[in-house]
Structure 1
Amino acid sequence: MAEQQPTGEDFGFDFYHYDPSQGAATLFVVIFALSTAMHGYQLVKHRTWYFIPFFLGGICEALGYAGRIIASTETPDWTLGPYVMQTILILIAAAMFAASIYMVLGRLVRLLQAEHLAIIPVRWTSKIFVTADVISILMQGAGGAMLAIAETMDAFQAGENIIVAGLFVQLAGFGVFIAVAGVFYARITKNPTRAADTVDIPWRSYMWVMFGSTALILIRSVFRLIEYLQGNDGYLMSREVYLYIFDAILMLVVMILYNVYHPSRIIITSKASKNDGFQSVYSSEVELQTV
């Protein structure tokens, strides 16, 4: 006979303070799966390997809401497995999106031949922010793992505390990234490079998509942080609608934005040299591909 999974009663509280909606969870599983499938197609077709974390984030979203479908069939005797499944996967998905988005900035800087306008050297930009993001993912994953193996309420709360710490790291990374990207955009707008004026691609649109997607992830992360700080019986965690408004919908918009403005559409072949201290582009080919 299979060992029975722990329930909320084993920890002295309910995993949910509402009946999880099967219809809402199913809808988002389908939409996330469709967007993720498109990202997979774009990834393979254009060999945009640095967007693998983004693709994996989409898989996490779809599987996370699948966990909520399972939970909806267990009402009111929810078990720990589906609860931890949806908690971990939905939490880390946003951080995985961010890992790929961080790498977009460096490629845009190179596209515009504007390394001298960046606060942080391009070779370090992705390394710094992706490292912070990986730390955030590991912390949130470790916290989720503690939830899965917790046998006491204290252990369960310790897992939640680690998740909160991971969210703080994520927010700090987002804040610094937005500042770095914002300063670069202001500088390139005020003092455009030759490439910025001549390149045959809507780079400003890509910048604004990057700003918009980062802002959406930031809003979502603030929501999740407040949610966990309020606790299991807090206002936000007690009402399912906020999960969909401030997490599911926002992350779906991020995924669709990058379906439309996928970085794989940018292909650059350039040859540059130095002349009297200025960098000039002798040849630059930019092709805007359709998906």
Structure 2
Amino acid sequence: MSSTHAGWTAYQYYPSMGAAILFIILFAVVTLLHTYHLLRTRTWFFIPLVIGGYFEFVGYIGRAMSAQQSPNWTTGPYIIQSTLLLIAPALFAASIYMELGRIIVLVQGEKFALVRVNWTTKIFVAGDVLSFLMQASGAGLMVSGANGSSSDGGSASTGQNVIIGGLFVQIIFFGFFLVSALLFQHRLTSHSTAASVADHYPWRKHLFALHSSSLLVLVRSIVRVVEYIQGTDGFVMSNEVFIYVFDGLLMFVLMVIFVVIHPSEINCLLGRGTSMTKDGLRITEPVMV
């Protein structure tokens, strides 16, 4: 298919091959590191994040393919990059949500949580699944519209609105999650538990990882909302720098944060799986809570 049909154009610019290759390499390295840590430490609740990393990796391969095709783009590479880069952060969010409940249990701070611990993961992951499905289905409708058949003339517009709705759901739930995590930390700091003051329970750095990663996803989602509200002729979608600075770079930094502050430490202290010390050695006797 050509780059333009039925009024549809793949890109408002020629995608950069160099930028695409750079981010392919970045996500390949960080995702392989996460895969290694996942398998070695058995931190299974981080599987969604690792899958999201592979989505980012393949998504930027799609952008590289589009860059190679310029200006005669086909829909295949465009669909790959637009869909996978859109929904990958929802997978990151699922793992982030699941870690908070484990931190709360670790420090025995259930009474300080805004939402009951047994509901925390369920509520936030349910919202994340809703956001994921909305964005994925919206991307599917946009793809249908991109194929250019007259019967699908309104599909692209509908898909765009569904994606915007999914991004708003993501922003709402992530905002509520961030408030919940910050409030929990404030309450726990003000009324310490025996576990929270123990030196071998490094919960503060793990909450920092959750706070910072949540902010990264929020910023990325807000920029994405602006992008889809403005439409294909808008300033954000017409300038490639936004996809790299406010999406690719932010999501890469998020994955790096969780390489440095890996949740296997929390998992290990809960007696689930193993952890890694700073020198890379495995902790073989987890502390039971």
Q: TM-score, normalised by structure 1?
A: 0.89
The equivalent residue for 1:159 is 159
For residues 157 and 275 of structure 2, the distance between their equivalents in structure 1, rounded to whole angstroms, comes to 52
Distance 2:159 2:84 in 1: 15
SS for the counterpart of 2:196 is helix
Distance of 1:239 and 1:218 partners within structure 2: 20
When structure 1 is superposed on structure 2, of 199-208 and 63-72 the one drifting more is 199-208
Aligned to 1:258: 258
CA distance 1:142–1:232, shift in 2 (3 Å): same
Q: In 1, distance between residues paired with 2:129 and 2:199?
A: 33
1:102-140 CA distances to partner (integer Å, 9 max, x unpaired)?
Answer: 011111101111111111111110110001001111111
* 2:114 maps to 1:119: yes
Q: Is the 8 A contact 1:143 1:159 kept in 2?
A: yes
Q: Which residue of 1 aligns with 2:285?
A: none
Q: Alignment length, in residue pairs?
A: 271
In structure 1, the gaps of 5 or more residues are 271-285
Partner SS state of residue 269, structure 2: strand
Runs of 4+ residues over 4 Å off in structure 1: none
- Note closer, same or farther for the CA distance 1:83–1:38 as it changes in structure 2 (3 Å cut): same
Distance 2:28 2:262 in 1: 17
- Kept in 2, the 8 Å contact 1:201–1:288? The answer is no
Aligned-pair CA distance for 1:202: 2.4
Q: In the alignment, residue 126 of structure 2 is paired with which amino acid?
A: T
- The worse-fitting range, judged by mean Cα deviation, of 70-79 and 214-223 is 70-79
Does 10-19 or 129-138 show the bigger shift?
10-19
Q: Match for residue 63 of structure 1? A: 58
Deviations 1:195-239 (A, max 9, x none): 111141321111111100000010000000000000001000000
The match for 1:186 is 186
Task: Rate the CA distance shift 1:287–1:79 in 2: closer, same or farther, 3 A.
Answer: closer
AA matched with 1:243: I
In the alignment, the residues of structure 2 paired with residue 140 and residue 233 of structure 1 have an alpha-carbon distance, to the nearest angstrom, of 20
Percentage identity across paired residues of the two chains: 43
Instruction: Choose from 271, 277, 286 the match for 1:289.
Output: 277
> Counterpart of 1:196 in 2: which secondary structure?
coil
Q: Cα–Cα, structure 1 residues 235 and 30, in superposed 2: closer, same or farther, change >3 Å?
A: same
Matching residue within 133, 136, 146 for 2:131? 136
The within-5 A match list for 1:1-291 is: 5=1, 7-150=2-145, 151=149, 152-266=152-266, 267-269=268-270, 289-290=277-278, 291=280
More strand by share: 1
Kept in 1, the 8 Å contact 2:164–2:225? The answer is yes
**One-letter amino acid of the structure 1 residue matched with residue 86 of structure 2:** L
Q: Is the 8 A contact 1:12 1:153 kept in 2?
A: no
Q: Distance in 1 between matches of 2:196 and 2:223?
A: 36
Deviation at 1:287, TM superposition (A): 7.1
Cα pair 1:36 1:55 within 8 Å, conserved: yes
1:97 and 1:241 map into 2 onto residues whose CA distance is 22
Q: What is the CA-CA distance between 1:153 and the residue it aligns to?
A: 3.7
Which residue in the other structure is 2:287 paired with? none
> 1:124-180 CA deviation, whole Å, 9 max, x = no partner?
101100010011111111111122233344211211111111101111111110111
Does the 8 Å CA contact 2:264/2:276 hold for their aligned counterparts?
A: no
> Radius of gyration: which is bigger?
1
Unpaired stretches in structure 2, ≥5 consecutive residues: 281-289
Structure 1 residues 269 and 129: alpha-carbon distance in aligned structure 2, compared to 1, 3 A threshold: closer
Shift of 1:269: 4.9
Q: Are the equivalent residues in 2 in contact too, given 1:119–1:180 (CA < 8 A)?
A: yes
With normalisation by structure 2, the TM-score equals: 0.90
